Structure 1
Amino acid sequence: MRYRQAPYSPDGEIAAMLDALRGEVRNGTGGSGGLSSERDELTLVLNGDIFDLDAPRVIDNESVVHDLPRTAEHAVPAMEAILRDHPIFVAAVGRVVADGHTVVFVAGNHDIQLTLPEVRDAVKRRIVDAALLALSAQGSDPPDRSVDELGDELGDELGDELGDELRAALEARVVFRAWFHRTKDGVIVEHGNQYDSYCSYRYPMAPFGRKPGEIQPTMGSLVSRLLVSRMGYFNPHVDSSFMLSGFGYLAHWARYYLFSGRSLVLAFAVGALRTMIELVRRRDPCRRALRRAGLHAAARETGAPLPAVAKHARLFARPAEDCLGRVARELWLDRLGLALVGILAALACLCWMPEGLAAAALLAPTLLVAYECAVPKPTLDAVWQGVNRAARLVARAHGAKAVIFGHTHNPEGSWEDGVFFGNTGSWSAAFEDIACTKPVFEARPLVWLRSEDGAAPEEPLSGGLVMWKDERFQPWRADATPSVPRKAEMAKRPRPALRPQATAALRS
């Protein structure tokens, strides 16, 4: 679990990138820091899954798996702990806000709790405190005082009323979006999980189930908590390490468990069954009133026209709870059930039809082979391709100049008929080897788009997919595409609490 330790965290790279980004904006106009508006305006969009609230908690330096209810009661302490453990990240985002720019947090499937007002307040409070700290330090050495002491000092210098106005101005620059963000110049930024059945929510603006205030778990969230984080040498950041074929799982077991005295069978069986049971137990049919309320809430939050929001919502993939056969297929429950039926049928043949011994012995494997051929399992690539296709339809719904997703972790960027389609990739602390010496992502991707202030609506944007490498921004290159290992080479390790994906939209 080295990757969960500070030396392997991406915090330092994020901070360096954000400081360089601030410098690029400042140098572009010769402006100064502070809340002045006489310079370029930057909107930094953190495009979902920035915080991993599905990850095991760290208690007394031990990783403890859990499946706590997704409520504010449990989410707020978890978020506060994450923010405390990542002060470099928090300080860097605070400096962006202190410079007068806007930071937008878009909720993803791993940090869907960002839709809860209590969680938003916790994040906003910590970012604003960091911004106040940055403002107090401008033009001097970094202070060694606490945020509370600095707040008292600023209050003494400015007066309580001015101090409150300053905090209110900073708070206005920390924005949250439950579903998607829409800029004035026609950019749609969305995490993209709504087009993946395993991770979609029926009502993304209010993703609750039957219990008020408790977020409905998706299959992806349940699998992360009940399976992947409890099962051995899988790397939750590299899909190919745990999305294996039947022979792949057997080879994985033989490599890591055959002579270890440990087994995955019980963890897998219990986790898969619990996942299915939870999806069935919490199944919540669509309610038109809630759907309509969500559309109106999205239009209010983003400023997008209601008809465009309604077209957008029609593109959602059906939640996994509506596709239980597909869930059973993904969790191998269908094949296990079919194997059990074949074995029972073979035993019945042996007991009552002794002359059918040969046929009985072949019954179970024959049924499995026939089923595998008749009902092929959807590949992960097919799911990701569906997400990418949805981006084109989202652009049509809004008449957007750009649509940016991040869910698939695959950095992409292309211009099609004057419209940009991109994916922000991932900044996760992912490594191909147990020693954490071979990073999966050799370059850090982000999307940086620019538009001119006062430009005509039909005027195109500029920019696109870039990478942060060697402490500077560079054009994205094909050879910078992350390499994905074909075999599971990672020690048991849950997702880190911080999984940043960044999109910068520059408006000048």
Structure 2
Amino acid sequence: MPTSFSESLPNFKNALFTAVISDLHLCEAQPVNLKYPLWKKFKTRQFFFDDVFESFLRHIEDKAGGQQIELVLNGDIFDFDSVMTQPAEPIFHISWLERHRGLYPREARSRFKIDVILTDHADFVKSLREFVLRGHRVIFVMGNHDLELHFPDVQAEIRKHLSLPMEFQDQVRFVEWFYISNRDTLIEHGNQYDPYCVCEDPVNPYVRGYNFISLKLPFGNLACRYIMNGMGFFNPHVDSNYIMSLREYVTFFLKYMARAQPGLVLTWFWGSVVTLLHSSFDRLAAPIRNPLKIEDRVSHIAEKANADDRMVRELKELFVTPASSNPFLLAQELWLDRAFIIFVAFFLIFQLMVFVRSVYEISFFWAFIPLFALLPFFLFYSKSIASLVSSYKEPDDRVLAMASAITHVNRIIFGHTHHTRHEIIGSVEHLNPGCWSPAFLDVECTKPLDQKNFIWISPGDAGVRQAELLRFQDGKSEVLLNPGRG
């Protein structure tokens, strides 16, 4: 029997070759909607890239010359929030809200969702399994859209699908939010520095409800579940698909949704209200903490991440404050403040007209005069509010410098933003491989943001590893960016 957790783990601390990819957003296959073929078209099997993933694994094996590779799947590999499939014979009660917007993040439900994803992506599972059997290792870093990997049953389901022999089981590892590769590279998904997507406490991620234990999800996840899952013409993988001006929303609605979803405004309003309420109540829910086991939990996270306990605590101090701390800010992001202004304006004008008509017999059409008079002020207010969701790009220089000092590395890799980066900021080399998700600039899915990029870290001069940002295409890779001063 091992005397400590570290003795039960294979040695992951040394690595010659490391490959990092991020944001695959694997989900279930969306059935083609024969009446409205553009409805969630980006989720259909037509755009699965499992075969590209298999080719990618073969390619990095060739680059490594037959030596062992450390593959880091850096967060949002699975998109639990977009899964809408329901079990045919559920062993748990499914609420009305779950039937319309997806299952809650509870262990049995989350295990069902990962089973659905992996069953639909059988080729992805097969490729990953064979990769491990050929002597390589895989690390899953948890992102904001696959926080449900925290559940032990979800991890067990992934291992079940991989069906690895006992001697290969330890070659697959799940880490909470960061991983240190070869003592020279810190790898994080990066959502912990985004106020809209931060997991408030990944050390203690669970909250207790009435007769159940659940995960506390960030605002961004809740918005995807309750709003985006009901608005299938918007692609959640590209910000410009759903963060628009009022004019752009009207144009988009008239072009694509007027017939398919005429009640869009009600769908948005209902989803936004549920998102705001759920986010606000979740913010008040205290995480489940066991004071007698907290040090064991910190040590467990540190060992898996090739870190020490102090690094876990200090990195946790860099987390940003969740946006859910400010409900008014969330209301602005959801456009509920503008909806409230419109409602109050109509109510007051209606009351005014009722009073005036009790004295003078005039038409209700006179109500348009104050409405038009208030319109410029409303438009000015709307234009003065900029969405902060789309303004977050990367963690700032302070976070990079502090994370580097805490972990004693000079290279930091993030994901999450879907934007590629390779730059030198101060003394820190910062990289981001972008995304592999089915991201398109148009509803018809004819303008892909084809980012099959990866980061390749390999031995360089004097035994010091070097990192490259590469684009994988047609079985080959080429350097995408050279580092510059940020």
TM-score band, normalised by shorter chain? 0.7 to 0.9
1:70-469 aligned within 5 A: 70-127=105-162, 129=163, 167-211=165-209, 213-258=213-258, 262-284=262-284, 295-350=298-353, 360-361=370-371, 364-365=374-375, 367-369=377-379, 371-372=381-382, 376-386=385-395, 390-416=399-425, 419-441=428-450, 443-451=451-459, 460-469=464-473
1:368-399 CA-to-partner distances (Å, cap 9, x unmatched) read 345446x6333444212446864444223322
2:41 and 2:445 in contact (8 A); partners too:
yes
Tell me the amino acid that sits aligned with residue 121 of structure 1: A
- Aligned-residue identity in percent: 26
SS of 1:317 mapped into structure 2 = coil
Distance 1:53 1:297, change over 3 A: same
1:289-319 CA-to-partner distances (Å, cap 9, x unmatched) read 6796665553343242333333321221222
User: After the TM superposition, which of the residue ranges 354-363 and 100-109 deviates more from structure 2?
Assistant: 354-363
Hey, what's the Cα distance between the residues in 1 that align with 2:140 and 2:260?
A: 44
Distance 1:349 1:261, change over 3 A: same
1:457-496 aligned within 5 A: 460-477=464-481
Q: Per-residue deviation at 1:343?
A: 2.9
Q: Per-residue deviation at 1:222?
A: 1.5
Hey, what's the Cα distance between the residues in 2 that align with 1:400 and 1:252?
A: 46
Q: Which residue, 48, 52, 72 being the options, matches 1:45?
A: 72
SS of 2:70 mapped into structure 1 = strand
1:391 and 1:405 in contact (8 A); partners too:
no
SS of 1:343 mapped into structure 2 = helix
Hey, what's the Cα distance between the residues in 2 that align with 1:45 and 1:187?
A: 12
SS of 2:168 mapped into structure 1 = helix
SS of 1:376 mapped into structure 2 = coil
Distance 1:394 1:278, change over 3 A: same
When the two chains are superposed, the root-mean-square deviation of aligned CA atoms in Å is 3.2
Q: Per-residue deviation at 1:115?
A: 1.0
Structure 1, unaligned runs of 5 or more: 32-39, 132-166, 479-508
Distance 1:287 1:426, change over 3 A: closer
User: TM (normalized to structure 2)?
Assistant: 0.77
Hey, what's the Cα distance between the residues in 2 that align with 1:236 and 1:261?
A: 18
Number of aligned residues: 422
Hey, what's the Cα distance between the residues in 2 that align with 1:399 and 1:466?
A: 25
SS of 2:378 mapped into structure 1 = helix
Distance 1:390 1:381, change over 3 A: farther
User: TM (normalized to structure 1)?
Assistant: 0.74
User: After the TM superposition, which of the residue ranges 67-76 and 2-11 deviates more from structure 2?
Assistant: 2-11
Q: Per-residue deviation at 1:223?
A: 1.2
1:72 and 1:118 in contact (8 A); partners too:
yes
2:137 and 2:171 in contact (8 A); partners too:
yes
Hey, what's the Cα distance between the residues in 1 that align with 2:421 and 2:143?
A: 18
SS of 1:467 mapped into structure 2 = strand
